[in-house]
Each structure stands twice: as structure tokens, then as C-alpha cells.
Amino acid sequence: MTKIAFIGAGNMNGAIIGGMVKNGVDPKSIIVTNPSPEKREALSAKYGILNTADNLEAVAFADTVILGVKPHLIVEVCKNITANVNIDNKCFVSVAAGCLLKTIQAALHENTAVIRTMPNTPAQVGLGMTGIFANEFVTDEQKVAVEKVIACTGEFIWLESEAGIDDVTCVSGSGPAYFFLFMEAMEQHAKTLGFTAEQSRLLVQQTAFGAASMVVDNPEVEIGQLRTNVTSKGGTTQAALLQFTDGGLPELVATAMTAAHTRAKELAKN
């Protein structure tokens, strides 16, 4: 594993760092920065990693730099790095939503190796899903190094074009919230049946977890087939599913995902 600098000690970088250390990466090969001391010192104490308030010191230390600040800060952070540190042969990885490669490259050097990723929140529990796109300056060796980092947070796919980042955004990026909404609605109805809040949550979370695990454990079986397998003709499940299809759920899901896709493109444009 190469040396990695995390710019920003926030949620996403914290999740990646946690995954890396849990997967046996040497904590002394990781440095995290943050202007205020609390968050970086907390990560440092929890995982035994190095920390500094100085982005330049961290970048100088590392081969791979993970840019984990809010999107509107990326350009400012990159310009400051480029003006003060030799970034030749370093690979920069952005997890920022809506920040285009051309914007990041313009703030670094035009020929800097830059990777854009679109992770999602389950990265915090090691079950993330990330889309990755690399510009033409990223070497195979750098790709492998970044794969090793992202793999510590869950699964990933390489994308063939930067536009794929918007596609991933509307599927897995925003996706956890789609499932949360569905679970919330189920939990709400369970409560109206008289279950306690605790029971309602357990009934829903275990069902969601079980269903997702069945999908994961049976890669050769299509998801539609798994549904058919548990839907007896004239039974309770069929009665419920008919309401979903008659109510246009598949079309609604497509409309919702298209809205997320459109919004991702708008944010990138702005």
C-alpha cells in the first residue's frame, strides 16, 4: 500500500480510513488533515493514523491524495496545494459530488492523475458501493492503489466515461435513501398495526437485511425470480404486490431515478 493523505476529516474520509485500518493497512501510511483539531485528532486517536492541520505537509507525505472536502472547497484546496507542493507522480482522488475532472485538473495541473469517485453512505459500515472513473494520466499502478483503498469500504465498479458518475449517482449514490424511504413507510404501517416502535423497526430492518442478503447470496438468480419465488398465486404477497404495480411503482422508481440523474448533471454544470 502506498502512502495516503486524506484532505478533510469528515464523514466520508473517516469511513474510508476506518475501512482501511480494519482491513490491516498500516496506520502510519495514512495521514489526515483538517483545519480544526477535534475531528482529525479523534480519527488519529481512534485509528493510530498521522494527522496535521497542514494540507501541504500531508500531500508532500503521500503518493495518493483523497480530496474529502465539500465540493465548493475543492478548487481552493487544490490551488493551494499546486502553488506550494510538487505534485508530480501523485494521484488525486475526489469523492466530491458534482465536481468535474476538468475543474479539478484546472486547479491542479492539466496533466495531473485524477480519479473521480461516487461513493455512498453504507461505506461507513463497510458495505459501500462506489463508481470510479480515472483520467488518462492515471497509471495502472495508481489505479491498483486506489482500488485497494476503495475496496476497504465495500464494492466498486470502474466506469468508462465521466458521465457514468451521474449514472452511478442516481442508482447507488442516492440509492440508500430510496430504501430508507421504503423501510420508513413499512415501519410506519407496522406501528399502526399495534407493534411497538422497537418491534416495528426490528421487523422492517431484519426483512430488508434478509432480502438484500438473499440477493447477494444468489447471484445466479435474477431479483425478479427471487420475488416470484416468494409470491404464491392468490396469496398475501401477491395481494400487496398488485397494489404496488397497479399504483405504478416501477414507473415511479424510474421517474425518481431520472430526477436524481438530472439533478446530478445540473450540479456538475453549476
Query: Which is closer to ligand NAP, CB of 57 or CB of 63?
Result: 57
Residue window 43-82: x/- pattern of binding to ligand NAP, with contact defined by CB under 6 A: ------------x------------xxxx-x---x-----
Contacting range for ligand NAP; rule: CB under 6 A; set: 2-10, 145-153, 209-217, 223-231: 2-10
Query: Which is closer to ligand NAP, CB of 6 or CB of 190?
Result: 6
User: Smallest Cα–Cα separation from 6: which of 63, 68, 61?
Assistant: 68
| Beta carbon of residue 91, minimum distance to ligand NAP (angstroms, whole number) | 17
Look at the block and give the residue holding cell 465539500.
70
> Scanning residues 91 to 150, which ones bind ligand NAP (CB under 6 A)?
95-97, 119-121
Find the residue with minimal CB distance to ligand NAP: 10
| Beta carbon of residue 218, minimum distance to ligand NAP (angstroms, whole number) | 28
> Scanning residues 6 to 45, which ones bind ligand NAP (CB under 6 A)?
7-13, 33-36, 39
Q: Which residues bind ligand NAP (CB under 6 A)?
A: 7-13, 33-36, 39, 55, 68-71, 73, 77, 95-97, 119-121
